[in-house]
Structure 1
Amino acid sequence: MARVEPVVGEPAAVADLGGERALLVADVHAGIEVGLRYERGVELDSRADARRERLCDLIRETDADRLVVLGDLAHRIGAPDGDEREELETLIATVTDRVPMTLVEGNHDAGVAEAFAADLAVIGPEGGVLAGDSAADVAVCHGHTWPDPALLDAEVVCTGHEHPQVRLEDAVGGSRVERAWLRGELDPAAFVENGGNEGNCSDPPEIVVFPAFNERSGGTWVNVEGQSFLAPYLPAALPSADAYLLDGTRLGDYRRV
């Protein structure tokens, strides 16, 4: 039985692949401070060291055998250079000194796989399954494009790109926004472009939409009416899904939070 369990308090999960434990994160957006400087003229102190150290701490704390990034390891769209490339080089070298690293290509990763081909295992934009003793159990994709329909044969599909968040209000009108997980049974017809080749529809997989690892990358307020989703198969592929805060609090149906 496939198991994908969030790490309490963190935007990360551990996938049990039988003989291997994989630490999964999505949307690291390394170099985001560089991108915000060019894109919006916003100057922020770099958190590159903190991001790298937290990833390494999580690898150690979870006793992971591998790190899998569900896309958008990098932030700026295009081949990495300058400060962003330097951050990526240090991050990848530090992680791979400890465990192998797999990247599922996201829409921000143009050129990353090529630039670091010697250091990373790469899964293409349409996604794939994680190799292990339970190779068909856990499928991964980023979410910016239509996935390979073969992912529907897995027990769990893990996806990023959406950066799900919930906007929470208190009794006196105050509000805050927090990163969240979305989990529910996947609607196969909505997951496949044009509704074709829907796999084993009698036993559809669970889908887990990951929060962004990078807290500065914004996101989709999933409980706000009229909010547009980013993935082409969302929200249709999640006809019923619960939202969870990073601390494990179950909020129930994300539409009613």
Structure 2
Amino acid sequence: MPRVEPVVGEPAAVADLGEERALLVADVHAGIEVGLRYERGVELDDRAAERREHLCDLLAETGVDRLVVLGDLAHRIAAPEGEEREELETLIRAVTDRVPMTLVEGNHDAGVAEAFAADLDVIGAGGAVIGERASEEDDGDGRTEGGVAVLHGHTWPEPALCDADVVCMGHEHPQVRLEDSVGGSRVERAWLRGRLDPAAFVEDAANLSAPDDPPELVVFPAFNERSGGTWVNVEGQSFLAPFLPDALPVGDAYLLNGTRLGDFRRI
């Protein structure tokens, strides 16, 4: 069975896809400093090189065969140009000099797939199942089962994703606010993991044939630490994906270092 295991201390995971292993990350938001400058007039030091080196170091450390970005490779919601395009070009070249790269289209990736069509494998916004295996009861109809489903999460997914072993998504940038005994607090990126409710995951579930053993849902932390996110344990915060939190009726939160915080609704 394909498995998805977080890299300890990192906003990334390794997926066993059968014939290959892939590094999965979400929400790279390349060009975020450029975007914040134009959108909000905020000047920040440029960390493009750090992001690129971080990704390449993870590829080397994990020894994977592919990089899969679960949406929002880019930051600005427009066709990439200027400094943002330059950062994307350098980043994509650095990665693809090492391994093939797959982009699952996110809401910030308008124009990215077209601009870099020669360099990337692209999966549409509805997601797809990768690393499928042939069914043991295959009767010649080409059916597959299992695999790892990948999507960004800003729109309703393809119903076929419910047949995967694991569903991996980005978009939410989950974070937790932790307080100490003297009133101090800090915000940390987090993973959310739990059993998926297929009936809440699909927009029109009336004709959905729900699997006997629903997949696990893994909501990835943002790779880019500057991109903000959803505080899952702060009252008044709302999720971004149209199917959350209903599609994750019971789920645990984990810090990047692997610390289990328990049910994300009760942290």
**What's the TM-score once normalised by structure 2's chain length?**
0.94
Distance 1:224 1:32 in 2: 25
1:86-125 alignment to 2 at 5 Å? 86-125=86-125
Amino acid in the other structure paired with 1:180? A
Alpha-carbon offset, residue 78 of structure 1: 0.7
Distance 1:133 1:85 in 2: 37
Alpha-carbon offset, residue 224 of structure 1: 1.2
User: Could you tell me which residue of structure 2 aligns to residue 200 of structure 1?
Assistant: 210
Amino acid in the other structure paired with 2:262? G
1:82-231 alignment to 2 at 5 Å? 82-131=82-131, 136-231=146-241
User: Could you tell me which residue of structure 1 aligns to residue 56 of structure 2?
Assistant: 56
Aligned length: 257
Gaps of 5+ in 2: 135-143
SS in 2 for 1:195: coil
Q: Which segment is superposed worse, 31-40 or 197-206?
A: 197-206
**1:28·1:214 contact (CA, 8 Å) conserved in 2?**
yes
Q: Which segment is superposed worse, 225-234 or 20-29?
A: 225-234
Tell me the alpha carbon deviations over residues 132-171 of structure 1, each in whole angstroms, 9 at most, x when there is no partner. Answer: 6687410000000000010000010000000000011111
Alpha-carbon offset, residue 246 of structure 1: 0.2
User: Could you tell me which residue of structure 2 aligns to residue 39 of structure 1?
Assistant: 39
Tell me the alpha carbon deviations over residues 192-240 of structure 1, each in whole angstroms, 9 at most, x when there is no partner. Answer: 1143343433211000000000000000000112211000000000100
Residue 6 in structure 1 maps to residue 2 in structure 2: no
SS in 2 for 1:158: strand
Alpha-carbon offset, residue 52 of structure 1: 0.3
SS in 2 for 1:22: strand
Alpha-carbon offset, residue 118 of structure 1: 0.1
Identity of counterpart residues, as a percentage? 81
Distance 2:209 2:85 in 1: 39
Q: Residue 77 and residue 43 in structure 1: after superposition, are their counterparts in 2 closer, same or farther (change >3 A)?
A: same
**2:167·2:216 contact (CA, 8 Å) conserved in 1?**
yes
**2:129·2:148 contact (CA, 8 Å) conserved in 1?**
yes
Task: Indicate the RMSD between aligned Cα atoms, in angstroms.
Answer: 1.2
**2:199·2:210 contact (CA, 8 Å) conserved in 1?**
no
SS in 1 for 2:265: helix
Alpha-carbon offset, residue 92 of structure 1: 0.2
Residue 240 in structure 1 maps to residue 250 in structure 2: yes
Gaps of 5+ in 1: none
Q: Residue 199 and residue 4 in structure 1: after superposition, are their counterparts in 2 closer, same or farther (change >3 A)?
A: farther
Rg larger in structure: 2
Distance 1:200 1:192 in 2: 10
Distance 1:9 1:196 in 2: 41
Distance 1:51 1:211 in 2: 15
SS in 2 for 1:255: coil
Tell me the alpha carbon deviations over residues 85-125 of structure 1, each in whole angstroms, 9 at most, x when there is no partner. Answer: 00000000110000000000000000000000000000000
Alpha-carbon offset, residue 130 of structure 1: 1.5
Amino acid in the other structure paired with 1:100? P
Q: Residue 11 and residue 251 in structure 1: after superposition, are their counterparts in 2 closer, same or farther (change >3 A)?
A: same
